[in-house]
C-alpha cells in the first residue's frame, strides 16, 4: 500500500511539472519596433534636439533602451546627445 501511495505521488508530480515551461517569472520580451516606428522615433528625436537649439541635420545613429526610456543619438556623425524624460519632461543632454 505504501508503494502505491509513493508511486501515485510521483505520477502526480510528473504531470504537474510536465506542462510548465522554464520561463522565469516576470520575464518581458524586449520591445520590437517596426521600420516605420523606428523612423518615427528618429524623426521625433531629431526634432526634439533641434527644438533645444542643438545641431542635428541628419541622425546617423539612434539607439533606445525600452527599459530606461533613454535614447542616444548621433547627429551629422559628430554631435552626440542623450534624450531622457525625468519627471515627465523631455531632456536633451550633450555627451
How far is residue 61 from each of residues 20, 43, 53, 80, 83, measured CA to CA in Å?
41, 12, 19, 9, 13
DSSP conformation class of 33: -
Q: What average pLDDT does this structure show over 6-28? A: 57
Q: What is the pLDDT of residue 76?
A: 96
Does residue 44 fall inside a structural domain? yes
- Say how many domains are in the chain: 1
Q: Which domain holds residue 93?
A: 35-95
Q: Rounded to two decimals, what is the model's pTM? A: 0.65
Does residue 64 fall inside a structural domain? yes
pLDDT tens-digit profile of 67-90?
788 899 999 999 999 999 998 899
| Three-class SS state of 9 | helix
With 0-12 / 13-18 / 19 or more C-beta atoms within 10 angstroms meaning exposed / middle / buried, residue 94 is exposed
pLDDT tens-digit profile of 25-63?
565 666 677 899 889 999 999 999 999 999 999 999 999
Does residue 50 fall inside a structural domain? yes
Amino acid at each position: 500500500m505504501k508503494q502505491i501511495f509513493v508511486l501515485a505521488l510521483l505520477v502526480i508530480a510528473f504531470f504537474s511539472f510536465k506542462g510548465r515551461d522554464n520561463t522565469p517569472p516576470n520575464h518581458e520580451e524586449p520591445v520590437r519596433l517596426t521600420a516605420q516606428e523606428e523612423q518615427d522615433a528618429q524623426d521625433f528625436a531629431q526634432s526634439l534636439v533641434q527644438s533645444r537649439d542643438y545641431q542635428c541635420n541628419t541622425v546617423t545613429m539612434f539607439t533606445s533602451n525600452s527599459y530606461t526610456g533613454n535614447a542616444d543619438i548621433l547627429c551629422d556623425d559628430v554631435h552626440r546627445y542623450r534624450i531622457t524624460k525625468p519627471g515627465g519632461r523631455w531632456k536633451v543632454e550633450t555627451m
